[in-house]
Amino acid sequence: MKAAVYYETGDPDVLRYEEVPDPTPGPGDILLDVEAVSIEGGDTLNRRGGDLGSVPHIVGYQAAGTVAQAGPGVGDFAPGDRVVTVGLDGSHAERRVVPAAFAWRIPDALDSDRAACIPVPFGTADDCLFEFGRLQGGETVLIHAGAGGVGIAAIQMAKRAGARVLATASSDDRLDRLRVLGLDEGINYVTHDFVAEVRRLTEGRGVDVVVDSVGGVTLQGSLQALAYRGRCVTFGDAGRAPVEQVDIRRFDRTTRPSRATSSAPSSLSHRVPMP
């Protein structure tokens, strides 16, 4: 079969389109004839400097297609079923093998192209917003990298939940294109300090939830952008510029309520594991 592979990490020119052996499903696995793939941020980050599971390494988290073979012990899927799959690698190929537990049946009304883009970005956004962020209708959320896959998913899901949605991106053009998805206020982080903009847009209060896929120095700013008892959920570290220590003493004073109501701010920072 043909696949997109690389032998070492680096710039896009390390990618090769080559013939590789067909994968074989083991117990609990399914073999998929791939019809559509998505390109996730993690795919590009791993190509630039991630671990090689094998050499040659077949890139790709997500793929949708038709089950060609079900391995021993698989009872939920059969040849001919349309599914979308997730794994650490192997999706950018004519065929892939994944455990059946990492596959989901595609509804008849949904085409493979769209299905291939759902599990990682929408699953991650759901975890960040609701599982760990506990976002409620009427609250305000800040979504970093709003024009990325998880950002696009999070904007739609947060708006549908009744939240006020703020997001960052690197250009006004990108932000303008996000408004149709539910963005209320966009912040160009190239031209504006996003913490100051959050404070301005919330009249000094801050946001209830931050979804931070960037990490590094951005994470420190995310904590400063929180309202009293706000929640910050971090994942991905797309910025690849880690901060050795997050200084919680630098919370902006505007996160504090009056002494009559409480003595200190409170926040939650949780790392969501990536596939």
Selected residue with higher pLDDT from 203 and 263: 203
- pTM as predicted: 0.82
Give, as one character, the DSSP assignment of residue 159: H
What is the number of other CB atoms lying within 10 angstroms of the CB of residue 66?
15
pLDDT of residue 46: 83
Give, as one character, the DSSP assignment of residue 117: T
In which band, very low, low, confident or very high, does the pLDDT at 249 lie, cut at 50, 70 and 90?
low
| Contact between residue 34 and residue 2 where contact means Cβ atoms under 8 Å apart | no
Measured distance CA(15)–CA(45) in Å, rounded: 13
Residue with tokens 């739609």: 156
**What is the DSSP pairing of strand 82-86 with strand 103-105?**
antiparallel
In which band, very low, low, confident or very high, does the pLDDT at 247 lie, cut at 50, 70 and 90?
low
What is the number of other CB atoms lying within 10 angstroms of the CB of residue 219?
22
Instruction: Record the tokens describing residue 56, joined without a space.
Output: 């040659």
**Angle, CA of 74, 79 and 82, to the nearest 5°:** 100
Domain annotation for the chain: domains and CATH numbers: 2-117 (3.90.180.10), 120-271 (3.40.50.720)
In which band, very low, low, confident or very high, does the pLDDT at 238 lie, cut at 50, 70 and 90?
low
Question: Closest Cα partner for 206 from 261, 260, 166, 148?
Answer: 166
Instruction: Record the tokens describing residue 254, joined without a space.
Output: 């505007």
Q: Give the rounded percent of residues in the chain with a pLDDT score beyond 70.
A: 86
Q: Amino acid identity of 140?
A: T
